[in-house]
Amino acid sequence: MANETVRNVIIIGGAPAGYTAAIYLSRATLSPLLLAGEKAGGQLMWTTLVENYPGFANGVQGPDLMQQMRDQAIKFGTEVKNEDVTKVDFSGQVKKVWVGETEYLAKTVIISLGASPRMTGAGEERLFGRGVSTCATCDAAFFKGKTVYVVGGGDSAMEDTLTLSMYTNKLTIIHRKDSFKASKIMQDRVLLTKKVPVLWNTELVEVIGETKLEKIKVEDNRTGETKELPAEGLFVAVGHMPNSDLFKGQLELDQMGYIVTNMTTSKPTNNQEVWLHGAPTQTSVPGVFASGDVVDLRYKQAITAAGFGCMAALDAEKFLTGALE
Amino acid sequence: MAAIHFSDADFEEKVLASSLPVLVDFYAQWCGPCRMAAPIIDELSETYKDKILIGKVDVDASVATAAKYGVQSIPTVIMFKEGKEIERKVGFGGRGGYEEMIKKVS
């Protein structure tokens, strides 16, 4: 079912980057279509209080922040659909985007599909909802007084630990290195304020239990020694993977799967020239831009995603006016 | 039309004793992914209203029912037929996932 209308711009993915791009493009009267996806709101829908998003001195609930951004985009005329894109074709001048059988056409596309929780590789997903979780915000309350482990060493692992500490004191962190990469303030809350014990240099190797989690098997990666620990809960917070599978073979991706843009290309470029006259957020295909965690191999913050979304919108606008060399 | 609500008090009568299959969404007010599932559940309850019953259980308000079915992660969506659980989806299942569950019984 082809829809003959060729739109100015389609934004794929509705979270900080996509919503921000939509706000800018709708204010520029370019009538964007935002295919926000069934998981509209993205990773922030899995959070509670966000304390580091500027403009909210008392913090803001992640899902509320997403609703505000969405409302702001709609207010200026963005058409939003909570639909998952199933296929794209960026080979022609007119870009094609499909949701099932429905085809949408546009002169430009902005990809802001974000990232999804990574697994450890120990096969823990087998017991999802049966003791294993990636969302402490959602599931911590089910583990009142239970023996729980958190795997990871970044800010999200610290946040999960703090959330869980409100429900149980039988809580331990497992981390494969000998220090955390989480921010100092979060580490201090976990290690100094809550005094949560940590198994350093330790990796999860197996989850044990038929119908629910009963034990975990861990390995000390310095000695190779393994042991089994009784566990009722296991929260996995070992980072995220860019949601870029849809674009394999159409756009250049790096070895980790991040979409490559003019900002992150390994090819020799004149960065100053790109910044001044080019389009930093443009992908390997002209007219296709990318922003947020699907590009960002480093910062991965709500505010940086929003910033990238703004940049992609301005780059797309520049492309549409023909001002891009 | 929004999906109906079940509680500890009426779960037996409205879900387990129902002549139609019943899809139950276990959720909580404060759960972000549950907010993603909610509009889909509401819409499906309208689309399939003649074939199956679709409703929700607030796990904070109906602790006993959530515990009885071992709900440890939300959203968890369970299909009941003739008083028995026949399938469950843990975590946000998406429209496609929920429709697939419905089509198996309707």
Cα dist from A62 to A41, A68, A279, A301, B18, whole Å: 9, 10, 30, 12, 38
- Comparing CB atoms, the residue among B28, B72, B92 nearest residue A131 is B72
Q: Which residues of A162-182 are buried (b: 16+ CB within 10 A; e: fewer)?
A: bbbbebbebbbbbbbeeebeb
Q: Measuring CA to CA, how many Å separate A160 from each of A92, A199, A215, A237, A243? A: 45, 16, 20, 8, 22
- Distance, in Å, from the CA atom of B49 to the CA atom of A102, rounded to the nearest integer, reads 26
Which residues touch B98 (CB under 8 Å, ≥6 apart)? B23, B37, B40, B41, B44, B77, B89
Question: In angstroms, how far is the first alpha carbon of chain B from the final one?
Answer: 20
Residue in chain A nearest B97 by alpha carbon:
A38
- Interface predicted TM-score (ipTM): 0.73
In this prediction, residue A15 carries a pLDDT of: 97
Nearest by CB: B90 against A62, A129, A137 = A129
Q: What is the pLDDT of residue B3?
A: 85
The model's pTM? 0.85
- Spell out the domains of chain A, with CATH numbers in brackets: 2-117+240-320 (3.50.50.60), 124-236 (3.50.50.60)
The CA-based dihedral angle spanning residues A255, A257, A262, A267, taken in that order and rounded to the nearest 10 degrees: 10
Which one is catalytic: A84, A135, A220, A254? A135
> Six-digit token pair at A194?
């809550």
- Which pLDDT score is estimated for B91? 87
* Single-letter residue type at A166: M
Q: Tens of pLDDT along B9-42?
A: 999 999 999 999 999 999 998 888 898 899 999 9
Given CB atoms, is B70 within the 8 Å cutoff of chain A? Answer: yes
Task: State which amino acid sits at residue A209.
Answer: G
Give residue A211's pLDDT.
85
CB A38 within 8 A of CB B36: yes
Beta pairing partners, A227:
A218
Name every residue whose Cβ is closer than 8 Å to that of residue A266 and which is 6 or more positions away in sequence.
A254, A260
Judged by a CB distance cut-off of 8 A, whether residue B68 touches chain A is no
A183 closest CA partner among A301, A63, A264, A293: A301
In this structure, are strands A240-242 and A233-236 parallel, antiparallel, or unpaired? unpaired
Size (chain B), residues: 106
Determine, for residues A129 and B33 on separate chains, whether the beta-carbon distance falls below 8 Å.
no
A64 is annotated as an active-site residue:
no
A138 is catalytic: yes
Q: Which of A39, A129, A131 sits opposite B76 (nearest CB)?
A: A129
Q: Which residue of A has its CA nearest to B70?
A: A130
**pLDDT in the model for residue B1:** 59
B38–chain A Cβ distance below 8 A for any pair: no
Distances in Å between the Cα of B15 and the Cα atoms of A202, A223, B72 are 45, 54, 20
Structure tokens belonging to residue A282: 């443009």
Q: Cα Rg for chain B, rounded, in angstroms?
A: 12
Structure tokens at B81: 């037929």
* Angle value at C-alpha A165, between A160 and A171, nearest 5 degrees: 85
Q: Is B33 on the interface with A (CB under 8 A)?
A: yes
Is it the case that residue B50 has pLDDT exceeding 80? yes
Could you list the pLDDT tens digit for every one of the 325 residues in chain A? 555 799 999 999 999 999 999 999 999 999 999 999 999 999 998 887 888 999 999 999 999 999 999 999 999 999 999 999 999 999 999 999 999 999 999 999 999 999 999 999 999 988 988 899 998 988 898 999 999 999 999 998 999 999 999 999 999 999 999 999 999 999 999 999 999 999 999 999 999 999 899 999 999 999 999 999 999 999 999 989 999 999 999 999 999 999 999 999 988 888 899 999 999 999 999 999 999 999 999 898 999 999 999 999 999 999 999 988 6
Q: What is the pLDDT of residue B2?
A: 76
CA angle A302/B91/B15 to nearest 5° reads: 140
Range of the structural domain that residue B81 is part of: 4-105
CA A110/CA A11 separation, integer angstroms: 5
d(C-alpha A123, C-alpha A8), whole Å: 44
| Interface residue of A48, A84, A137, A139 to substitute, partner B, most B CBs within 10 Å | A139
Split into its structural domains, chain B has a count of 1
- Point out the catalytic residue in the list B31, B52, B53, B71: B31
Q: Are B24 and B6 in contact (CB under 8 A)?
A: yes
Question: Taking CA B11 as the corner, what is the angle to CA B8 and CA B12, rounded to the nearest 5 degrees?
Answer: 115
- Which residues in chain B belong to E strands, given as ranges? 4-6, 22-27, 53-58, 76-81, 84-90
